[in-house]
Chains A and B, each alone.
Chain A
């Protein structure tokens, strides 16, 4: 969408009471409240509740050798050089010059060792933190955080997913938590269909409709199980919130400088939107870049892709830092696995869960360090391997959720939020 999207609902924050006579009926004409989901919070609790996440997901698997764990001038090292970072002794690929200058704000884990070398099963496993099989479908990270932490005080939907292609509400990511905790996907960063009210619907009529609807809903909820009305009301409240923030979706309102810094490609645009979404108060934003499965032409592919990621990732981290938000926003960049050291006949690299890397920043993650070491030729881990379960524990801990004590309830069945035989990585927590 290129046109300006200023909508009636933006002005709705200062809602008038349109149904004067309702004052005495107890039908509080909610000022955009989100049912029972938002509790007023103070002090430390507020700070913890305002912690947020940006997950940058490089679908298909970025090569660790062309990014976080280069092995220049070795048999499997590929053509690229490594460069010094701000932290003495820590080198990353020459394809990430901007990120190298931010190394003091990052932590790299180089000994990820996971189980699944397939996309179709590997993606969900990593995004679910691969907990032990208990015969239930676990939620994706974003859904889990949405459930555990709820929306921030902004009231914006807690789990937004910026992705190329089409959007929609992806309920299946919520697993057993129930559809409500799914991801609201913004296809190509565009707002959901029908977000803007048509011109024929005046602001006054729109407000009256919603107030009358609440009146009926409260009457129904008073004599029925609450969940049904909560679920139905919730989606309208989310719709309202999105409409209030409709300027977020108008790229033309952003300074040119931002576009240049993040890049005018999809990943840059989507990461820039993610920055604005966390700034507006979305709890968890996932940005996905597709097409990393470089079975062929791996090196031209990474030469083309990694610098774009370097650009957007470094812009995001430095912006969050400049705004003083990095203390409370966890940024994670990863994929379902890395890529094989051996280079195949199509000059590509294949799927490699055996020894790959990921990076994180912010939210109390101890920065400026590399955790773990791989063999000199990159063909295995050389120090303690970490599973995605260890990372989930670490990230929950950073978000202020005690991952070893907190449990989900699936009906009457308590379920650990992260793999119960794993624990947080102490080195990563400041």
Chain B
């Protein structure tokens, strides 16, 4: 939701001035870099030195703006457990994991759980799914892109290096070259009547990596945001106008042409011609080096091999170095705001892609702190996620127990905020709850495929693989629509009500939830279902009502249990991260 009502501050220009600028000669720098490009990829970076804890400072800054309002209490163990599993492992906990945690009485159990999840195998998958949806916005998928994201999050690659891999893809780096898919998938033609949407790529780079939406600035200075200038758009756009998808390689890759002149553009309002060179969001204009005719290339194009050539001057290189830089405030603020939104349910700046002076953050000091600390941590995503998770702000309950906290506006963070489950979170949670993930893991183990990770289990189980695809199709937003708001759909409801792939999960099968439930007493059945699906014990009156339901339908117990399970799996409590 974009709102013009929160428009109030000074300019992008102040940001522009604060950015450091390298004086090194462009030509020589690029020559040196091209040599490096042929070398094999560098080994993964060591974890940066530990930083002092950030979470107490986060809480202090949040509380400083509460003006004495009593905040909501911390979540209870069950609520916390479910939330932290969803956020860090991308699924709800199993009954066994829940029992173990709830029974643990040591005081540091939450911190230990967080550390366990962050170093576990599911955290990189969860981050990959999250960043895939955020960066590609459901435009499609690609194996090389998956490899890139997997490597990035398994190695906890610093964010600026992830961004640089996207902005200046290196076809020689097998681990990260798939990052080019970010660009190539946006440079696909959608038919004769729809030319390749290069402006869309420009806009997405600015939105997703710098937090600014330059859409309206394509043709004129933004009408209501005085700091989004047409020059900002055109200067960035000329970099991508110079980019082509390579068709001589079997994996996603891009090439650049020779860029030797500034770009001329006109406002549709004033029709006065202006010029700009490549312009980095949050940075300055890049000067264009001149080369003698015939001297523009490091590697000459080879038409026969369809090899496009490597120009000495690479605007993408300039962009990747100067945008994905600790000195670039837009870059740093964008990512910490997005990670904050992921964990807390609301960005410090909202909408996420409208950072500008007239749309200030709800907690400016906090955004500054997160940005500077994140940069100082060498853009360590896992570290920042850990700090956010350990904060009291993150761990507050979403229950409306105290009216004073509940009446505070969302941006106060006086109370926990609910979050939308991604289609992937919904899928993993569903098959965790119904026991199908575990059931198939054990089946495969019996077939000699021991200790498979969850993804491999799904990959090797046709039913689950097809269910995953169907659920992403059903619950994802249409392509190009960011998955930000909770948007349940009739399509989704009908899918859960009637789709055979869902209804099948409600039949007793060796090792699944329904089978387990049918063999227990009514009381235990209800407890088991509640724990497996909602990660909590039933309340007393709930227990009474539900056991009564089972009792009355004792002659059709399997059906009653299936009905109960369906209702739990489709309940708001299940489909929301609270």
Do A and B truly interact?
yes
The answer, yes or no, to whether A193 is at the interface (CB within 8 Å) is: yes
Report A-chain residues with C-beta under 8 Å of the C-beta of B485: 178-179
| Cα-based distance from A238 to B494 in the complex (angstroms) | 10
Report B-chain residues with C-beta under 8 Å of the C-beta of A231: 486-488
**Which of B93-101, B141-149, B255-263, B496-504 touches A?**
B496-504
The answer, yes or no, to whether A197 is at the interface (CB within 8 Å) is: yes
Chain A stretch 70-126: residues in CB contact (< 8 A) with chain B:
none
Chain A stretch 393-430: residues in CB contact (< 8 A) with chain B:
410-413
Pick the residue among A136, A137, A232, A412 that contacts B572 (CB under 8 A): A232
**Which of B478, B570, B578 has the most CB atoms of chain A within a 10 A radius of its CB?**
B570
For residue A9, give the distance in angstroms from its CB to the closest CB of chain B: 10
Chain A: number of interface residues, binned into ranges: 35 or more
Identify the closest chain A residue to B559 (Cβ).
A205
Identify the closest chain A residue to B568 (Cβ).
A216
The answer, yes or no, to whether B524 is at the interface (CB within 8 Å) is: no
**Which of B21-29, B35-43, B332-340, B393-401 touches A?**
B393-401
The answer, yes or no, to whether A196 is at the interface (CB within 8 Å) is: yes
Contact B498 A213 (CB under 8 A): no
**How many residues of chain B have a CB within 8 Å of chain A?**
56
Pick the residue among A20, A168, A224 that contacts B398 (CB under 8 A): A224
Report A-chain residues with C-beta under 8 Å of the C-beta of B571: 213, 216-217, 220
Chain B stretch 519-552: residues in CB contact (< 8 A) with chain A:
539, 541-542, 545, 548-549, 552
**Which of A169-177, A306-314, A364-372 touches B?**
A169-177
The answer, yes or no, to whether A244 is at the interface (CB within 8 Å) is: no
The answer, yes or no, to whether B366 is at the interface (CB within 8 Å) is: no
Given A25-B541, A235-B493, A410-B1, A198–B225 Cβ distance below 8 Å?
A: no
Identify the closest chain A residue to B354 (Cβ).
A135
Contact A239 B494 (CB under 8 A): yes
The answer, yes or no, to whether A62 is at the interface (CB within 8 Å) is: no
* B490-519 contact mask (Cβ, 8 Å, vs A): 1 or 0: 111111011110010000000000000000
Report B-chain residues with C-beta under 8 Å of the C-beta of A413: 3-5
Identify the closest chain B residue to A231 (Cβ).
B488
Report B-chain residues with C-beta under 8 Å of the C-beta of A411: 1, 3, 5
What does DSSP make chain A's interface, helix, strand, loop or mixed?
A: helix
Given A195-B498, A410-B5, A213–B491 Cβ distance below 8 Å?
A: no
Report B-chain residues with C-beta under 8 Å of the C-beta of A215: 545, 567
Report A-chain residues with C-beta under 8 Å of the C-beta of B399: 223-224
Contact B567 A235 (CB under 8 A): no
Chain B stretch 564-578: residues in CB contact (< 8 A) with chain A:
564, 566-568, 570-573, 575-576, 578
| Cα-based distance from A205 to B495 in the complex (angstroms) | 16
* A222-257 contact mask (Cβ, 8 Å, vs B): 1 or 0: 011100110111111011001000000000000000
**Can you report 18 A-B residue pairs in the complex whose CB atoms are below 8 A from each other?**
A19-B545, A133-B224, A137-B2, A157-B490, A171-B487, A171-B489, A198-B503, A210-B567, A212-B563, A213-B566, A213-B571, A219-B539, A223-B400, A224-B400, A229-B572, A236-B497, A239-B494, A242-B490
B residues with a Cβ closer than 8 A to A are: 1-5, 7, 223-225, 398-401, 406, 418, 477-478, 481, 485-495, 497-500, 503, 539, 541-542, 545, 548-549, 552, 559-560, 562-564, 566-568, 570-573, 575-576, 578
